[in-house]
């Protein structure tokens, strides 16, 4: 017989168990918060598990939670549960509009801090429970238990191929019929839009493009799924803004930066379906030069934020530009 060198711990101070009549047995859990008909959203930070820099990880967690905490202060009827790089947001269905507004407010904060977040949103039950074991727990235990059909569906929906807010038929029909919310489609995935404001969508798309360029410079197939997610962020932004020149006006100054090689530029133009000759023509006739774009404080900050994500290899260093 093989013996493990480290033996299981033994309970200390255990006395002989009392016999309890079956009539006195109580459930091993209690529901401490419950919404039978709720809108439930689940979020996590895209690429978090691949981050390597401890300082960046801590700053990323602070920014992720900070945006949610600020949103919670403005929305006292919405339930926020934050744990590491994940969060649940829930509300009774009567507060569905406020919940979506709270999510969009958090998105503005995430984008301002250069964080790409992916979410799933659904309709169903939501519970927070407490078990008998938790009542017995010592001070070195921190636990939060969630359950319900809304929780299960939101977690499943969150796995979509972009940093977007994915939903299902029931939730889509609800927001569409009650609030005239437009629904977007990405292959077989349905999306409720993060925002319809041009500036945050521009920053969202620009962050995605710069990080996509970093991966194009590596030419490694293991990053294929990440490239696709970043490209889908661009497609979404272009669709929502509804300006056929949006991708071109976004790409011109970024793809004209000195750090971008001709190979990377060519790959990017192919993915964005922009003809190289048309791109060159626009560059020659562009009123705002690359230098002028770089001199804007917000664009320098954008390049710095895009460079801070250690989940994406530093194949290109944009902060050296300008």
Owner of token pair 């939101």: 154
Query: What does the DSSP assignment read for 197-217?
Result: -HHHHHHHHHHHHHHHHHHHH
User: Domain 29-192, CATH 3.30.70.1230 — does that match?
Assistant: yes
Say how far apart CA 122 and CA 153 lie, in whole Å.
Answer: 6
Owner of token pair 């359950």: 147
What per-residue confidence (pLDDT) applies to 137?
A: 81
Q: What pTM was estimated for this model as a whole?
A: 0.89
Which residues have C-beta within 8 Å of that of residue 58, sequence separation ≥ 6?
A: none
Say how far apart CA 106 and CA 200 lie, in whole Å.
Answer: 12
Query: What does the DSSP assignment read for 266-292?
Result: HHHHHHHT--HHHHHHHHHT-SS-HHH
**With the C-alpha atoms ordered 272, 275, 280, 282, is the resulting torsion angle positive or negative?**
negative
What per-residue confidence (pLDDT) applies to 21?
A: 74
What per-residue confidence (pLDDT) applies to 283?
A: 84
Phi-psi region of 311 (alpha: psi -120 to 50; beta: other; left: phi over 0): alpha
pLDDT along the chain (322 residues), means of 10: 76 67 68 91 94 92 97 94 96 97 96 96 94 83 90 97 97 97 95 93 95 92 93 95 88 90 95 93 74 84 89 77 44
What per-residue confidence (pLDDT) applies to 31?
A: 81
3-state secondary structure of 128: strand
Q: Are 127 and 150 within 8 A, CB to CB?
A: no
What per-residue confidence (pLDDT) applies to 319?
A: 65
Question: What residues does each domain of the chain span?
Answer: 29-192, 198-320
What per-residue confidence (pLDDT) applies to 44?
A: 96
Q: Are 119 and 84 within 8 A, CB to CB?
A: no
What per-residue confidence (pLDDT) applies to 322?
A: 43
In order of 89, 179, 186, 190, the CA distances from 183 in angstroms are 20, 11, 10, 7
């Amino acid at each position: 017989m093989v013996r493990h060198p480290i033996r299981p711990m033994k309970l200390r101070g255990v006395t002989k168990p009392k016999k309890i009549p079956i009539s006195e047995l109580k459930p091993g859990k209690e529901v401490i918060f419950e919404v039978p008909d709720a809108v439930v959203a689940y979020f996590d930070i895209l690429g978090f598990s691949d981050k390597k820099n401890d300082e960046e990880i801590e700053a990323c967690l602070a920014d992720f939670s900070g945006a949610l905490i600020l949103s919670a202060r403005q929305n006292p009827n919405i339930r926020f549960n934050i744990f590491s790089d994940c969060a649940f947001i829930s509300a009774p269905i009567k507060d569905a509009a406020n919940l979506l507004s709270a999510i969009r407010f958090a998105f503005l904060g995430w984008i301002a801090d250069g964080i790409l977040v992916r979410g799933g949103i659904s309709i169903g039950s939501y519970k927070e429970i407490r078990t008998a074991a938790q009542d017995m727990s010592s001070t070195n235990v921190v636990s939060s238990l969630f359950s319900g059909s809304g929780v299960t569906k939101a977690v499943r929906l969150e796995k979509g191929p972009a940093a977007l807010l994915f939903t299902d038929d029931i939730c889509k029909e609800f927001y569409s019929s009650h609030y005239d919310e437009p629904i977007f489609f990405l292959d077989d995935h349905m999306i409720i839009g993060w925002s319809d404001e041009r500036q945050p969508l521009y920053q969202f798309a620009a962050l995605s493009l710069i990080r996509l360029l970093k991966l194009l410079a590596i030419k490694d197939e293991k990053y294929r799924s990440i490239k696709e997610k970043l490209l889908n962020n661009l497609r979404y932004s272009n669709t929502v803004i509804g300006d056929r020149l949006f991708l071109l006006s976004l790409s011109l100054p970024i793809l004209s930066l000195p750090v971008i090689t001709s190979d990377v530029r060519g790959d990017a133009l192919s993915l964005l379906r922009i003809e190289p000759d048309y791109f060159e023509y626009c560059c020659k006739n562009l009123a705002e030069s690359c230098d002028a774009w770089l001199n804007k404080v917000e664009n320098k900050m954008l390049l710095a934020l895009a460079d801070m994500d250690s989940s994406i290899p530093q194949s290109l260093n944009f902060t050296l530009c300008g």
